[in-house]
Every structure is written in structure tokens, then in C-alpha cells.
A = this chain, B = another copy of it.
């Protein structure tokens, strides 16, 4: 397909990684209090420039000088939801791509309502675990906290519907990651089970997607590149970690120092046949 990276061509994916390191795009994050530090550090490690700004009094101004926006509802309250909505609307108005992370979307009625309202504000990408994507697709009515009870495969058909109804690329992360625009599906087989023992790595993955959206207009390609990078760095870091404490540190080191040869050797990404 002309004018588009092959979303599973590893050399093209690396080009995007190199572009972030070169351009240092400014990423506006409205995210939860649990992961703010780690998310900012993940963005810095890949070469992006993070800003964590959530006041209703400045999000609309700030999104206008950013290259991408992250909206993450992990520790939402009424003030934060308002900020998320204002920023998302402003992003669409000025043409800044944005990513929605519907943390714990099915856990409470309040959270489900907020997640669905945001999903209707034209995000470029929605990333969640299986339970969150299922809930957002309004089929999983019960939730159980923020850790996933559904594997990513189960949620795939729902993700495709969600992509069609919202216009967003939808990513489900889990043992296998899936990325779909409603028609195409790419699966990524990188990552490591120890990653589930570190809080907020999904939130960091969402932020990394934002950094790729900032430099790659094709949201499908950007999302595949981001999750492949995150999965490769995560498995490399986990393999040399005796536990989740070290993994959190080693992940940042790996995102920072990863080279093309290692990335290419590790990346396991392929387009599913239709």
C-alpha cells in the first residue's frame, strides 16, 4: 500500500522509534496519580518530552502546543473527567491525536459512564486490557478491579466492533497484544508474565502509543510500533530481573538503550489473515 508503512515490517517500525529519539515530541498527559512518575519516565526513556498537566484551567491551552494527548482515567474524579473531556475536545479541534486508556472501565457504574463518554469524543486510539475493552464495548457488564480477568483473545471480536463504532484504532494488551482498526488485526507476541506484577505498565504502553502518534499520522502503524517496542523492551528487561522491583528499573534502561539489531531480532509481530 503506497504512502503507508507496512504495519508489521520491523525495519519500518524501527524507523519510527528513531524518529521519536530525533524529534522529542511533546506529549500532554492527563493520567492517574499511581503512574504519573513512571509514565513520564517511560516517555523520557524513549526520547519524548512528557508534560503532566490536568487542570481544567489550562488543559485546552496546553494541548494546543502538544504533539499528542494521553487521557487515562485511572484515578478519576469529577474534576478530572471534566479536564479529560475539555482536553479531548480541544485536541480534536486543533488536530492533535489522542489516546484513551479506560482504566478499570467496568469496575463501577461511574467509571463505565466516564469511559464511554470519552470513547465517543473521537480518540485516535483506545488501549486497554481484555476486561476494559469488553466493558467498553458494553458487553461485559460486571467488572473486577483494574487487573484483567479476560484474556486479550476473548475481547478481540468486541474490539473490532468498538473500532468500527468509534473510528479509533483499538489495542488490547495481554499475553498477546492485538491491534485492530476494525478490519485488519495485528498480533504482537512480545512481553513477559512478570510485567503483570508491576503497576501501571499498561498506562506506560498507552503513553508510548501517544509518542508514536505524535510522529506517525497512521494510527494503526503507530500503535503497532509502540506496542512492539514496549513488548520487546519489557521481555528483555524481565529476563534479567529477579522480581518486579528490578523490572521497573530495567524497563526504563532498556527503552533508553535498545538498538535496532536487538529490536529486529526480538520483534514478533504479524498481520492476521482475514
What is A's interface to B at a CB cutoff of 8 Å?
26, 32-38, 40-41, 44-45, 49-58, 61-62, 65-66, 74-79, 104, 107-111, 143-147, 196-200, 241-246, 248-257
Do B78 and A41 touch across chains, with their CB atoms under 8 A apart? no
Do B107 and A62 touch across chains, with their CB atoms under 8 A apart? yes
Q: With A34-B36, A61-B109 known to touch, is A147 a contact of B250 (CB < 8 Å)?
A: no
A208 to chain B, nearest CB (A): 15
User: How many copies of this protein are present in the complex?
Assistant: 3
Which residues of the partner chain B approach A243 to less than 8 Å between Cβ atoms?
Answer: 45, 252-257
Do A52 and B65 touch across chains, with their CB atoms under 8 A apart? no
Which residues of the partner chain B approach A109 to less than 8 Å between Cβ atoms?
Answer: 58, 61
Which residues of the partner chain B approach A41 to less than 8 Å between Cβ atoms?
Answer: 198-199, 244-245, 248
Q: With A44-B197, A245-B248 known to touch, is A35 a contact of B37 (CB < 8 Å)?
A: yes
Contact of A251 among B38, B53, B76, B245 (CB under 8 A): B245
Q: With A45-B244, A52-B32 known to touch, is A110 a contact of B61 (CB < 8 Å)?
A: yes
- Sample of 28 A–B contacts (CB below 8 Å): A26-B144, A33-B52, A34-B36, A41-B244, A44-B197, A45-B244, A49-B147, A51-B145, A51-B146, A51-B147, A52-B74, A55-B75, A55-B76, A55-B77, A55-B110, A56-B77, A57-B77, A58-B108, A61-B108, A65-B143, A65-B145, A77-B79, A243-B255, A243-B257, A244-B256, A245-B248, A246-B249, A249-B249
